[in-house]
Structure 1
């Protein structure tokens, strides 16, 4: 079957050493299945990125038959609005792909703009039940296609008798509350003196990494904390295998890929109950959930896992089973079916 050429509009920035977005993986998997894919943008500068998105949509209009446009909150929302305006003028069918745990809050403040953008799309996709549910206020027929994993890349190791080896993997940004992980470390160390926390991730320039360092110095925890920096995507499975407990301290979240990766590797996940995490994680079945910004509760959850090997084993096994449902072999056919349907009716 011949597939229509597709334009993917989003952030393709891994070549600059920045985080690899799921859109990059989608483009590669589609290409491997015989799809012709055009991607934009690879520009690091925000202004140049928007310009590249618009010019690509215009100049290559004869090279694609439908488009997939990523939608984020904040200033990036304007990029989607601008690109979709061009696509409508060109009479190109397009799909919107919603991202980010903050998008529902943004939509509450800008409901008119969000409703207009979603209304004109041929289809709208959410990667989580959380976004699907909360964005239905602006369009009812939002589809759910989860963010996928290449599950074979994540070797599973059953965790039962846990070491006090904690892992945190996220960008150092205030919305993810990285300093809370150091507060958890301080509390756990009172009961488990050999505890160690490794925090991986790029610095986002808002002072969060400096706050982490200051907090560690204030409590004399420099020897119990490692800050290796950003980890390349292909090395994530390897670094996760070095830990037994994964901390997610986010204050705003959707369906974090880093949590899914930890689940695939069999780590025991302790996460704040915010945004989309309660839709992804089931308390005491495949993770332990605690209130947001509650370092005491998260530390107690960590200690509970260290004391209860049966609980740790249950979470480790269940987390892996859930992660297997997000494999590309399951998710990619859903995208292909949607593209073919939109093109056929577009």
Structure 2
């Protein structure tokens, strides 16, 4: 079986690995996989994808298309158009946390693109529910996967106020909220520490640094910068709590990986996150943009070793459901029809 996988393969340009680079490699255990494209420019990336579809039209069984909610949606849409014109079956993989809004804003395009797909892959129950509510019945739930053996479990029998934040400094991930949280925590725990891992985007890292200085908590915040997955996994051993402040999300791999390592996760309850784990059992969910609520959630973890220990152990147990060992057979089942 031969698969053409279209997505943003931009790790070589300093971006975090996306699904095409993670899932794409794993699918090579099932089929021959061609991964396109590495161009940073969206226009050149689309041209490369279009060329790959046409060049491989008679040799591939299926085209997988990573589908996002913003400008990347149009790239996926037009790739789908080319596939249909060449009578190639294609499968959109639904990644963008704001895709449900896209279904409303671009209904005609969405109907054309999604209804003509062989099927849709939703990585979360949230995304599957939203698409089914919009009338799309060909949705398969295939969770994001992790390699559990790559994440060393550190059992937190207690948690210190050492907090790790891992995302790019983009507005949708709300990094300023993390600064507000550590400012509140520093009044109770003067030695509280926030490590912020991720690349700069649109000047928001500078904004966060200025805010930390204004609040006089520079000593409580470390701006680590961009790290590889391996590097931030190693760094996580020095922290006990993982903070996710995002305003929009689907099923964030960083949260899943933090749980696999036994970190106590505190996250906003947006998008698909409520479908990811059980609140106050395997992690803690709070309302977005509420620094006070987040800080209280962290205080409860720090002040209650038993609670921290429970979150740590239950998070690891939950993460076993996302191991490739269990996700691989699901892909095999759905891809079998194209062999």
Q: Could you say what the CA RMSD is over the residues aligned between the two structures, in angstroms? A: 1.2
Cα distance in structure 1, aligned partners of 2:268 and 2:176: 14
Q: 1:114 to 1:34 in 2, by over 3 A?
A: closer
Q: What residue number does 1:83 align with?
A: 79
Aligned positions of 1:6-17 closer than 5 A? 6-17=3-14
- Paired residues of 2:120 and 2:140 also in contact (CA < 8 A): yes
Aligned positions of 1:247-286 closer than 5 A? 247-286=243-282
Aligned positions of 1:214-293 closer than 5 A? 214-293=210-289
Cα distance in structure 2, aligned partners of 1:162 and 1:303: 10
Q: Secondary structure at the match of 2:322?
A: coil
- Paired residues of 1:114 and 1:138 also in contact (CA < 8 A): no
Say which of 298, 302, 310 aligns to 2:298: 302
Q: Secondary structure at the match of 1:293?
A: coil
Q: What residue number does 2:137 align with?
A: 140
Cα distance in structure 1, aligned partners of 2:251 and 2:30: 29
- Paired residues of 1:12 and 1:20 also in contact (CA < 8 A): yes
- Paired residues of 2:163 and 2:240 also in contact (CA < 8 A): yes
Q: Unaligned regions of 5+ residues in structure 1, if any?
A: none
More divergent stretch after superposition (162-171 vs 61-70): 61-70
Deviation, 1:265, is 0.4
Aligned positions of 1:155-194 closer than 5 A? 155-194=152-191
Cα distance in structure 1, aligned partners of 2:24 and 2:178: 34
Q: What residue number does 1:96 align with?
A: 92
Deviation, 1:20, is 0.2
Deviation, 1:339, is 1.4
Deviation, 1:281, is 2.5
Q: What residue number does 2:209 align with?
A: 213
Describe the superposition over 1:289-313 as per-residue Cα deviations: whole angstroms up to 9, x where unpaired: 1111000000111111111111111
More divergent stretch after superposition (37-46 vs 227-236): 227-236
Deviation, 1:328, is 0.9
Describe the superposition over 1:184-214 as per-residue Cα deviations: whole angstroms up to 9, x where unpaired: 0000011111100000011222x32122111
Say which of 49, 59, 64 aligns to 2:60: 64
Deviation, 1:223, is 1.1
| Alignment: residue pair count | 338
Describe the superposition over 1:86-109 as per-residue Cα deviations: whole angstroms up to 9, x where unpaired: 111111111111112111122222
Cα distance in structure 1, aligned partners of 2:70 and 2:14: 23
Establish whether residue 46 from structure 1 lines up as the match of residue 42 from structure 2: yes
TM (norm. structure 1) is 0.95
Q: What residue number does 1:129 align with?
A: 125
Deviation, 1:236, is 3.0
Q: What residue number does 1:203 align with?
A: 200
Describe the superposition over 1:132-168 as per-residue Cα deviations: whole angstroms up to 9, x where unpaired: 1111114023111011001000010111221111000
- Paired residues of 1:111 and 1:138 also in contact (CA < 8 A): no
TM (norm. structure 2) is 0.97
Deviation, 1:34, is 5.6
Q: Secondary structure at the match of 1:241?
A: helix
Cα distance in structure 2, aligned partners of 1:292 and 1:26: 29
Cα distance in structure 1, aligned partners of 2:10 and 2:217: 34
Q: Unaligned regions of 5+ residues in structure 2, if any?
A: none
Q: Secondary structure at the match of 1:158?
A: coil
Cα distance in structure 2, aligned partners of 1:281 and 1:181: 21
